[in-house]
Structure 1
Amino acid sequence: MEFKLNLTQEQKLIMTQQMQLSVKLLQMSNFEIQTYIEKELQENPVLDAEYKKNDNDKAQDEIDYKKLIKHLEFDNYGHSSYHRDDEEVSPFNFISAKKSLKEFLKEQIIDLNETDYIKSMCEYIVENINQRGYLGTSIEDIAEELTISQELSQRCLEIVQSLEPTGIGARDIKECLKIQLIEKDLKDENIFKIVDEYLELLAENKYNVIAKKLKITVQKAQEYGDIIKTLEPKPSRGFYTGEETKYIVPEAYIKKIDGEYHIIMNDGTIPKLNINGLYKKIINNEDDKQTVKFVKEKLNSAVFLIKSINQRENTIYNILEKILEIQKDYFEFGDEYLKPMTLKEIADNLEIHESTVSRAIREKYIHTDKGTIKIKDLFTTGISRVDSIEDVSTKIIKKEIQEVINNEDKKKPLSDQKICQLLKEKNIDISRRTIAKYREEMGIKSSSKRKRF
């Protein structure tokens, strides 16, 4: 071992805090930007915000609530409505409370012909039901916590399991499915045996194996399987379970005006930022150097934030402009005209880095005549057509695969190799392995699992 000094030369990219903020803002959605700006406004006294007031907000301000209360006194809520000169307002616009699964269950418990003591224990069990609708604790634990017998605990659970939606309060998927079978008044032992012992085989469509084990025909096994597949494995589905809905705020609107498509940035939710004029006077005050230093730091931060937000909007607009140029036929005619398009292609056209495009479209949406779509979904790789210069997008290929499978003979489902041959007849050059990959991405089972007996 020895001590020595070495000189080395290396290139290293060090991102300043400002550069990091710029990148961070670029990949934020409109909603996240709005939240971030509100936080900055609280922390930076130099910043001022000017909020745009939408016409809808003005309309709500003008509503006469006394008239609305009278309006609610009508019996026929579906057909009566309070009128303004320029629009119609339904009373349902003012209903915002969401009924949760637990509230729905407790309302049913109130109407039960049971003692208050039993009802209170049933409500305790309901509180232990998880987001999927299953009981999240054991009968033994409930009995111990409530200092009651396991028999009484079991009886209260059975009461809860008799409530709507059917299958609620089950301890596992097998019990959940069996509760639903009993509700349907199905008493065949074989169907219960499939649920208890052969669910994995059912998931794999191995009806021939199930048939041998139960000593029944394959057709009968499949009949049982069809019934089980109609049951609901997640009884809480359709109810509010505490998970907040994430609302999508589109970054821009792509509208057709006078035969031409235009990009309209959705900046109504983002306030216009500017610098508070009061702080110009403070900077000119040479007596309080500490305050001047503080204000200058905050000014630098505010100016950079304003520039970064403007740069973010310009970057997104330029990317959307280039997408619109390439995918004009898609916006005009629909999915079948979606062209292959990559991040690199857009980046090269705009002379920016591919990662910038990736960050700019991350979790962002645009509103079009065909609905709200994720920008990332417009980026697809291409597969070559035989005897054709143009490539065909993966989205179109998946649609072709779906169509072929929909039209196949269900008794003899097509193999991936056969689908590959059929697509080649349509001038789409694609390998069997790629077919399998796309099929799995679409959630379509293999030919052996699609077979109907």
Structure 2
Amino acid sequence: MEFKLNLTQEQKLIMTQQMQLSVKLLQMSNFEIQSYIEKEIQENPVLDAEYKKNEIDSGKSTEEIDYKKFIKYLEFDDYGHGSYSKDEEEVSPFNFISAKRSLKEYLIEQIIELDESNEIKAVCKYMIENIDERGYLDITLDEIQKELNISKELSEKALKVIHGLDPLGIGARDIKECLTLQLKYKNVEDENLFIIIENYLEMIAENKYNIIAKDLKISVKEAQEYGDIIKSLEPKPSRGFFTGEEIKYIIPEAYIKKIDGEFCIIMNDGFIPKLNINQLYKQIINGEEDKDTVKFVKDKLNSAVFLIKSIRQRESTIYNILEKIVEIQKDYFQFGEEYLKPMTLKEIADSLEIHESTVSRAIRDKYIHTERGTIKIKDLFTTGISSMDSFDDISTKLIKKEIQELVDAEDKKKPYSDQKICDLLKKKNMDISRRTVAKYREEMGIKSSSKRKRF
């Protein structure tokens, strides 16, 4: 080991702050970029914002252009709450506000109405505050007794009250108690069900009904029928209630509308304000003698100009990508998922002469609104499997759809093995291996043939 001084030459790509901002803006969704721009407007006095209506910017008034035949296509409601009429009065924004009813609020409402002592109700409310997102009681009775300094009898009585609330199974300490509570409150008395829940729950998931049947001295068919009853119960009582996790609001990047037989892209930029440079600050640069003031304004101007250019570049990039997607997937937008063609990021990138990572960033967490609903742009990208009798590729989504249909139609007493599914797909010109069938089946959450079997 020794110390040396060496001179070397090497090439490096150094990302400037401006380049980093450009990349950051590209991968932002409409919702995120709206928040970012509003923040920049507050921090940069040079920027002026003009909020525009969500319509096609033609540069001319609607009276000068014949848009009459487009009205039925362009007058659509972003929120799906019906059409708008000029004769109607202005719609109150309160019509579109819905309060989220949380599970804990729902439970407390029930407690208030019960004919119980205030002491019991207070303990019940404390228990409700300790119910987790699954609907389970996330604290032991011993801990409750110590924290509230109450007797064992009082805590057990309060827990029994909680267990009697809707939804059934609420306040259980584990999945076994959750399922057992649901059976008890449905007045089910078959002892075998309770024994299976207590001792054989994992075997139900593995379809090992022969072991359950042997231990309980019943037929395999009866064991599976018990399994069906248990599977019909709710393992997460909180399902369907707001538990505190906000649902991310989706603003589509664009609308794909069919106009005169052609699919058109209407960018949904109504949420993004149009940015301009405040004229006052241009005058300051021309007339201000204070060098520090001029330097400050120039820095803010440079920042503002680059932001405006980056936003325009972002919209242009996304539009070009969507234009190419619509060109390739025209049949999909026309006829549905069965006609989705294989399409990769590289294919789009090569056709637009941009880098694959640019396409990836541009479509990240972005959606488009079509006549078939709002879809994630990324879901339109699928790999393909070569067809046996033609040079066309078949989308993996179509293959998965065929696998699902085969499984749905199979004889449940003799479900198809992966090899059998593979053979049936080959008859439909879908040449994939058994291992690929198993991979797609697992991705779709379909169990193996041994676990799908009905006795």
The reply to whether TM is greater than 0.5 is yes
8 A contact 1:285–1:292 mirrored in 2: no
- Structure 1 residues 265 and 53, CA, compared in 2 at 3 Å: closer, same or farther? closer
Deviations 1:182-205 (A, max 9, x none): 111111221111111111111111
RMSD: 1.7
Instruction: Give, as a single letter, the amino acid of the residue that structure 2 aligns with 1:396.
Output: L
The answer on 1:47 being equivalent to 2:47 is yes
1:4 Cα deviation (Å)?
A: 2.4
1:167 maps to 169
Query: Aligned partners of 1:324 and 1:94: how far apart in 2?
Result: 32
Tell me the CA shift for residue 91 of structure 1. 10
SS of alignment partner, residue 368 of structure 2: strand
Between stretches 343-352 and 113-122, larger displacement belongs to 113-122
Counterpart CA distance in 1 for 2:428 and 2:2 is 71
- From the superposition, tell whether residues 172 and 432 of structure 1 become closer, same or farther in structure 2 (CA, over 3 Å): same
- Which among 358, 361, 381 is matched to residue 360 of structure 2? 358
Please give the alpha-carbon distance, in whole angstroms, between the structure 1 residues aligned to 2:357 and 2:96. Answer: 43
Tell me the CA shift for residue 5 of structure 1. 2.1
Q: 1:374 aligns to what?
A: 376
Q: Per-residue CA shift, 1:366-422, capped at 9, x if unaligned?
A: 000000001001001000111211010001001111111111110011100011011
Deviation digits for residues 221-253 of structure 1, max 9, x if unmatched? 101100000111111111111111211110000
Whether the 8 Å CA contact 2:285–2:298 is kept in 1: the answer is yes
Are 2:54 and 2:268, in contact at CA under 8 Å, matched by a contact in 1? no
SS at match of 2:287: coil
2:299 partner amino acid: E
Residues matched between the structures, number: 426
The alpha-carbon distance between structure 1 residues 88 and 279, as it changes in their structure 2 partners (threshold 3 A), is: closer
Partner of 1:340: 342
CA contact (8 A) 2:54 2:271 kept: no
Give, in whole Å, the separation in 2 of the partners of 1:450 and 1:405: 9
In structure 1, the residue matched to 2:24 is 24
Question: Which residue of 2 is the match for residue 2 of structure 1?
Answer: 2
Counterpart of 2:393 in structure 1 is 391
Contact 2:111 2:124 in 1 (8 A): yes
- 1:64 is aligned to none
Identify the residue that residue 447 of structure 2 maps to in structure 1. 445
Structure 2 residue 251 is the aligned partner of structure 1 residue 249: yes
- Which residue number corresponds to residue 263 of structure 2? 261
Task: Give 1:14's aligned residue.
Answer: 14
Write the letter of the residue equivalent to 1:26. Answer: L
- 1:97-116 pair list within 5 angstroms: 97-116=99-118
**One-letter amino acid of the counterpart of residue 282, structure 1:** I
**Residues 174-213 of structure 1 correspond to what in structure 2 (within 5 A)?**
174-213=176-215
Identity %: 77
Tell me how far apart the structure 1 counterparts of residues 19 and 330 of structure 2 sit (CA, whole Å).
34
TM-score between both structures, scaled by the size of structure 2: 0.91
Question: C-alpha offsets along residues 166-222 of structure 1, whole Å, 9 cap, x if unaligned?
Answer: 111111111111110111111122111111111111111111122122222111110
Q: 1:303 aligns with which of 302, 305, 321?
A: 305
* Alignment gaps of 5+ in structure 1: 56-82
CA contact (8 A) 1:27 1:360 kept: yes
Paired residue secondary structure (1:372)? strand
The CA distance in 1 between the partners of 2:329 and 2:161, in whole Å, is: 57
Report what 2:422 is aligned to: 420
Stretches of structure 2 lacking an aligned partner (at least 5 in a row): 56-84
Offset at residue 89 of structure 1 (A): 5.9
Deviations 1:140-191 (A, max 9, x none): 1111111001221111011011000111111111111111011111112211
Asked if the contact 1:417–1:432 (Cα under 8 Å) also holds between the matched residues in 2, the reply is yes
1:93 to 67, 92, 95: 95
Residue of structure 1 in register with 2:62 after alignment:
none
> Structure 2: which amino acid aligns with 1:345?
E
How far apart are 1:54 and its partner, in Å? 6.1
Alignment check: 8 A CA contact 2:27 2:362 kept: yes
State whether residues 275 and 308 of structure 2, in contact with CA within 8 Å, keep that contact through their aligned partners in structure 1: yes
Secondary structure at the aligned position of 1:284 is classed as helix
1-10 or 116-125, larger mean C-alpha shift: 1-10
Pick closer, same or farther for the CA change 1:349–1:95 going to 2, 3 Å.
closer
